[in-house]
Amino acid sequence: EESKEADAGSGKADGDLITVGYAQVGAESDWRTANTESFKSTFTEENGYKLIFDDAQQKQENQIKAIRSFIQQEVDYIVVAPVVETGWETVLEEAKEAGIPVILSDRQMQLSDDSLYEAWVGGNFVKEGETCGDWLAKYLEDQGRGDEEINMVTIQGTIGASAQVGRTEGMDNKLKEHSNWKMLDRQSGEFTQAKGQEVMESFLKSYPDIDVVICENDNEAFGAIDAIHAAGKTCGPDGDIIVVSFDSVKAAFESMIKGDLNATFECNPLHGPRVAEIIQKLEKGEQVDKIQYVDEAYFDTSMDLENILKDRAY
């Protein structure tokens, strides 16, 4: 352990690169692609890093294997975007024992011992869910449907992922405030377009009168919209079904401009520079904030979307 630290120290003094292992969730969504790109463009040799990137294909066991391989390769830092919240203690203890600092990004972990990681940076998923609920309440109110019975379904994200858990919880908090909102069903679309479409197809068969579909990411919404159209129904501001989602990727703006998607609640994927800042502080022995939430907005069809889209980075 001592020699590992000594190596890392002398390596950096010689002007060597800082080696970072990134255990990424997968490539399930546009958001994830933007997140990967943010890491790959930040952790470059030019910037003083060597990035070892691993795509876990949405499987926790693959991420655990990747972390173990980073430990074996004696990287300087391990970054994890954990696919699910639980089940990480053992492997993080192994990293701690090897003296390798761990930084969490995007999704969170549920850990009994917070000293197993240095810091986490990401979106506030509960808040995103609540913002969605508040937006829906105002939208329905403006349509004169504030007291109507509203039938909803949710296409959830990967079950057990903090993005799923948080968004569902945020929406649940708002459901409690509206006794006329009925959540008919919730099923996972695994944060993918294909599964989102499949789940929506089955919802449309089971429930003839859906007013709102909440998709826990934009890609699921794109699949849901295809399913709605295939069933001969319409959606968006002038349609039969209100569709809302999370992330606010460029394609979601295009979908709103087309009139299919009603609103998207932002989740910012550009964590590469944020994680680099944490690493730079740790390198200097500076204090880092343990939990770092990123500011997030929302977008709907009442806005000047074409103009906003011009400046969107993802």
Residues forming contacts to ligand AHR in the complex (CB under 6 A) are: 28-29, 31-32, 106-107, 163, 191, 217, 246-247, 267
Q: How far is the CB of 286 from ligand AHR (least distance, A)?
A: 27
Q: How far is the CB of 183 from ligand AHR (least distance, A)?
A: 20
Cβ proximity to ligand AHR, 43 vs 191, nearer residue: 191
Residue 147 burial (10 A CB sphere; 0-12, 13-18, 19+): exposed
Phi, psi (rounded to 5 degrees) for 311: -100, 5
Q: How far is the CB of 10 from ligand AHR (least distance, A)?
A: 37
Cβ proximity to ligand AHR, 22 vs 31, nearer residue: 31
Q: How far is the CB of 125 from ligand AHR (least distance, A)?
A: 8
Cβ proximity to ligand AHR, 247 vs 260, nearer residue: 247
Cβ proximity to ligand AHR, 71 vs 265, nearer residue: 265
3-state secondary structure the chain: CHHHHHHHHHHHHCCCCEEEEEEECCCCCHHHHHHHHHHHHHCCCCCCEEEEEEECCCCHHHHHHHHHHHHHCCCCEEEECCCCCCCCHHHHHHHHHCCCCEEEECCCCCCCCHHHCCEEEECCHHHHHHHHHHHHHHHHHHCCCCCCCEEEEEEECCCCCHHHHHHHHHHHHHHCCCCCEEEEEEEECCCCHHHHHHHHHHHHHHCCCCCEEEECCHHHHHHHHHHHHHCCCCECCCCCEEEEEEECCHHHHHHHHHCCCCEEEECCCCCHHHHHHHHHHHHCCCCCCCEEECCCCEEECCCCHHHHHHCCCC
Cβ proximity to ligand AHR, 107 vs 174, nearer residue: 107
Q: How far is the CB of 267 from ligand AHR (least distance, A)?
A: 5
Separation between Cα atoms, residue 230 and residue 270, nearest integer Å: 34
Amino acid (1-letter code) at residue 205: K
Cβ proximity to ligand AHR, 84 vs 152, nearer residue: 84
Q: How far is the CB of 136 from ligand AHR (least distance, A)?
A: 18
Q: How far is the CB of 311 from ligand AHR (least distance, A)?
A: 21
Cβ proximity to ligand AHR, 76 vs 218, nearer residue: 218
Residues 6+ apart with CB under 8 A from 148: 140, 180
Cβ proximity to ligand AHR, 28 vs 260, nearer residue: 28
Q: How far is the CB of 74 from ligand AHR (least distance, A)?
A: 28
